[in-house]
Amino acid sequence: MLEKDIERVLISEEEIHTRVKEIGAALTKDYEGKTPLVVGVLTGAVPFLADLVRQMDLFVEMDFMDVSSYGDALVSSGEVKIIKDLDTNVAGRDLIIVEDIIDSGRTLNYLVELFKYRQANSVKIVTLLDKPEGRVVDLHADYYGFHVPNEFVVGFGLDYKQMYRNLPFVGVLKPEIYQ
């Protein structure tokens, strides 16, 4: 049903699964002996986070944060508003922020600075997708799944008008859907 709106698949379910296993293995190794706090950024991160934590052979805690960007090009400060904060005190904790995509980098730039201010012991970024061409702030993922071109992509957490997040792959919508 959903697939009829997709022009082409960019990253298949199998490719994502393979890559998630690789990232999970890397995190398992890099965080050995620690109990990181996995921070999901609502809502896009949910499918990736759910798969990723099940590939991490570690004690982990999970918490979620919801933020929204203020406007767009009019606001150059990249200010971000907290809609839902974490329930966890992050002071002294090792944080792994999980995202579906880094585009301008504003969301994660804000969160990294916030968690440093709150005295996290370490803050790393894991993103399924990275769109380097979209970047307006200097921000790099510590772990990423795939680079994507500067196109509007949906699926595996990414939405168009809150829909298509539950597609099991990443794809490009048919133009008639958003025209």
* Residues annotated catalytic, as ranges: 103
Least spacing, CB of residue 137 vs ligand PRP, in Å: 8
| CA-wise closest residue to 164 among 152, 147, 150 | 152
Which residue stretch of 7-15, 30-38, 40-48, 108-116 sits at the interface with Mn ion (rule: CB under 5 A)?
A: 40-48
Count of other CB atoms within 10 angstroms of residue 60: 17
- Range list of H helices, 10-146: 13-30, 46-53, 106-117
Q: How far is the CB of 41 from Mn ion (least distance, A)?
A: 5
Taking a C-beta distance cutoff of 8 angstroms, is the pair 143, 23 a contact?
yes
44 binds Mn ion (CB under 5 A): yes
Collect all residues with Cβ–Cβ distance below 8 Å to 33 and sequence separation of at least 6: none
Closest CA to 62 of 22, 102, 96, 104: 96
130 binds, among Mg ion, Mn ion, ligand PRP, none (CB under 5 to 8 A by kind): none
Residues that bind Mg ion (CB under 5 A): 159
Please report how close the Cβ of residue 26 comes to ligand PRP at its closest, in angstroms.
22
| Cβ distance to Mn ion smaller for residue 31 or 114 | 114
Q: Which residues bind ligand PRP (CB under 6 A)?
A: 41-44, 69, 99-107, 159
In this complex, which beta carbon is closest to ligand PRP, that of residue 94 or of residue 100? 100
CA atoms within 13 A on the CB side of 22: 11
Give the residue with the Cβ less far from Mn ion, 44 or 155: 44
Question: Which residues of this protein are in contact with Mn ion, per CB under 5 A?
Answer: 44
